[in-house]
Structure 1
């Protein structure tokens, strides 16, 4: 983020305020604006750092940092990791009859399902029932519902 336009705006405002007082005051305002540029730049960087710190406290996980590169400040988001998936809902027996369903799938997918079920320590049937129950959960839009913030900001 280039801070120069903001500093030039401050100098222009100072010159505009000094203009009605005459050329000597305009010259004094110009000199004052040049002398204050470093202080104003530092004040803007402090404001950006404070804003980044406040945003970080509200994000609850990722951190926003101000990084200086020469005379420019970059805002960088770090530590943004995706939220772990919510645990699959448990399927409870409602006392109703069980239904049998024939499912056809490619052999390669069947192998992956078997491996995944074995890794989780459940039967293929239990794994498939849980996967279907998760997919058809009422009121679910299909997304994880979590917030994920990643990226890099540069103005």
Structure 2
């Protein structure tokens, strides 16, 4: 999906409005349209991302993701390939909690390259997007029956444990 035509439409509308003004007004409108293009692109991407989130909530367990290819967004629809096997009670409860959540937010997650590749492979094998897979994994991790005890003062832990 190319955002250029939408940004160009806004530029031409701004230019049409500026035609009513002086030469200085038209030059200012031209400079403003160039300067506003990144903000316009970002606003359009945010709109697409929010729309994809709303559609994904309705399509569960499938979904829609917005991915960037260069500067242009791409909508990727994921459909479940096979009915999911019966999930353990904790995972089912975690998924129900995720499905009932009315709003979402965006966060940045930095993963080592090797872990990122494994997440992408696993999500693809399950027929879901990386985002959906990560949301389910986080929700399932938070819904375990075992109580979590905070580390004692002065203790240091690193790594990942199941």
Normalising by structure 2, we get a TM-score of: 0.50
Structure 1 residue aligned with 2:27: 27
Aligned counterparts of 2:83 and 2:28: Cα–Cα separation in 1: 57
Structure 2 residue aligned with 1:71: 71
Aligned counterparts of 1:9 and 1:80: Cα–Cα separation in 2: 37
**1:31: how far off?**
0.3
Structure 2 residue aligned with 1:54: 54
Q: Deviations over 1:83-111 (max 9, x none)?
A: 58xxxxxxxxxxxxxxxxxxxxxxxxxxx
Normalising by structure 1, we get a TM-score of: 0.52
Higher RCO, 1 or 2 (CA under 8 Å, sep at least 6)?
Answer: 1
Q: Deviations over 1:49-77 (max 9, x none)?
A: 00000000111210100000101110001
Unmatched tracts of structure 2, length 5 or more: 85-162
Unmatched tracts of structure 1, length 5 or more: 85-155
Structure 2 residue aligned with 1:5: 5
Structure 1 residue aligned with 2:121: none
Aligned counterparts of 2:68 and 2:38: Cα–Cα separation in 1: 15
What are the equivalent positions in structure 2 for 1:87-98 lying under 5 Å apart? none
Larger Rg: 1
Q: Secondary structure at the match of 2:8?
A: helix
Structure 2 residue aligned with 1:14: 14
Alignment length (residue pairs): 85
Aligned counterparts of 2:5 and 2:48: Cα–Cα separation in 1: 15
